[in-house]
Amino acid sequence: MALIGQLEEARADLSDLLRKVAIGLPELVRVSRFEGFAYYALHPMDFAAAAGAESHGSSVAVIGIRSIGTVLSAMAVAALRKHGTPATRITVRPAGHPYDRSTQFTESQADWLKQKKQHGSSFLVVDEGPGLSGSSFVSVAEALVRSGIDCDRIMLMGTREVDPGRLCTTNAARRWKQFRWLKASSRIWQQYGGMTVLHGGAWRETLLAPGSEWPPCWPEMERVKFLAPDGGCVFKFDGLGDSGERVRERSNAIWKSGFGPKTEHAGNGMTAYEFVPGTPLDRPYASAEMLDRIAEYCAFRASAFRTDDDSGDLLEQMANFNFLQEFGAEANLPVASLRTATPIIADGRMQPHEWIQGSDGRVLKVDASSHGDDHFFPGPTDIAWDLAGTIVEWDLSGDAETHFVEKYRERAGDGPNARLPQFVLAYSVFRMAYCKMASAATQHRAEKARFDRAYRFYRNRIETSCGAAAISGS
């Protein structure tokens, strides 16, 4: 009976502690997706495998770089412990310019580091990447050195091979080479690496007709995808967990409605898309029949992919900011003109080459499920974003544009004319800014030239099509 009384007393104390902890906490906490797990084919078990396979000494102090390093460092610690190596961790968030991060440890973290140093631990810094600069990794490692830890006790672990000379932080090569580097090998690459690679823009050489003009591609931002050895399907990374499930649900709905290829979940965040043999289209294919097909597809999306969120205010901020940066003048976007009462997950990729005319005459939409709610614009928005995308990417004007918009209105029962000009402007500004950023960021010379041409196309369209209504005083 005494034991029962002690248990009840302990339970009451625990309940009291939980109530105190809960005070002040919101009912709902909104967190960002981990981009590596959602978009870049990063599997958390990659870090468990890499950490467990490496010899680290008697004990390991793991430092995860937030945000995704929070999960990756936990995987590393779990793997180390499983293999009999004592391991604990902290997480840090470097601050400052992306190319010049700095890291400061809190007082409690400094005490933890001092203790680990005295115990003879080795130190493992964990994150995805590095990115273009490598400055987050370097800033954490250098903060460890300032804490009195020798360079040879510090190892950095990430997701790609590194050429220190190409990192764009200050004195990158000298600083990076002080520390050991461990790449966590990708289980997805191990499974699919023997197939024909389609990402990084390689799909153009494989799928487009010889001699055709290639559309620009930001290789570093493309999702991983492979062509099966028999040519029957394309394996594409659509995301782990619910991120991938939502993409596959949309892909399945598009297939069942006759607008896209058949899909099947392939595991580890990969989706198998039935390969569509045929011809990727180009602007000269903008016949009335083709525009009818696109209008029908947009009407389908407007009904099938409704959502509760709306990124209209963010779109407006994006368009106004980039317009001002480019033209030195304000965009004449009415306040709240990009908000919508009926937000949907847009396609976001209405370029002609994303439509395939099959050998049976059918025209199917590919790459239709993942770009409407990824980490680029637009996010949840009005179907007018895809209507605008069609008008801009197919370079429609006059009768062709009128025909397309009218066919959409007939199919959807939605007259978009009043709001469409604002979305055409916002879409054009986004694509102009995207191409300008991609041209500056990519390390591929031919790709840079393609993005420069595309940038001029969108800029000219803003100047000529929007004219004085879009540019005041520039």
Among residues 156, 404, 146, 429, the alpha carbon closest in space to that of 291 is found at 404
Q: What are the phi and psi torsion angles at 158 (to 5°)?
A: -145, -150
Question: In sequence order, which ranges of 218-287 are alpha helices (DSSP H)?
Answer: 241-256
* Cα 303 to Cα 14: distance, rounded to the nearest angstrom: 49
- Mutual angle of helices 445-461 and 420-441, in 10-degree steps: 160
Q: What is the pLDDT of residue 135?
A: 97
- Count, residues in the chain: 474
Q: At 167, which amino acid appears?
A: L
Q: What is the pLDDT of residue 31?
A: 80
C-alpha to C-alpha distance for 471 and 425, rounded to whole angstroms: 10
Q: Write down the pLDDT at residue 15.
A: 75
Neighbours of 315 (CB within 10 A): 27
Question: What phi and psi, each to the nearest 5 degrees, are found at residue 145?
Answer: -60, -40
Strand order in the sheet with 363-365: 278-280, 355-358, 363-365
242: number of CA atoms within 13 Å, CB side? 3
Domains of the chain with bracketed CATH = 35-185 (3.40.50.2020), 192-470 (3.90.1200.10)
Write down the pLDDT at residue 470: 44
Structure tokens at 444: 């591929």
pLDDT tens, per residue, the chain with 474 residues: 554 555 566 676 777 777 766 666 777 878 889 999 999 999 999 999 999 998 777 899 999 999 999 999 999 999 999 999 999 999 999 999 999 999 999 999 999 999 999 999 999 999 999 998 999 999 999 999 999 999 999 999 999 999 999 999 999 999 999 999 999 999 999 999 999 999 999 999 999 989 899 999 999 899 999 999 999 999 999 999 999 999 999 999 999 999 999 999 999 999 999 999 999 999 999 999 999 999 999 999 999 999 998 998 999 999 999 999 999 988 889 999 999 999 999 999 999 999 999 988 999 999 999 999 999 999 999 999 999 999 999 999 899 999 999 999 999 999 999 999 999 999 999 999 999 999 998 888 999 999 999 999 999 999 987 664 445 544
Residues 7 and 9: their CA atoms lie apart, in Å, by 5
Asked if 160 and 131 touch (Cβ cutoff 8 Å), the reply is no
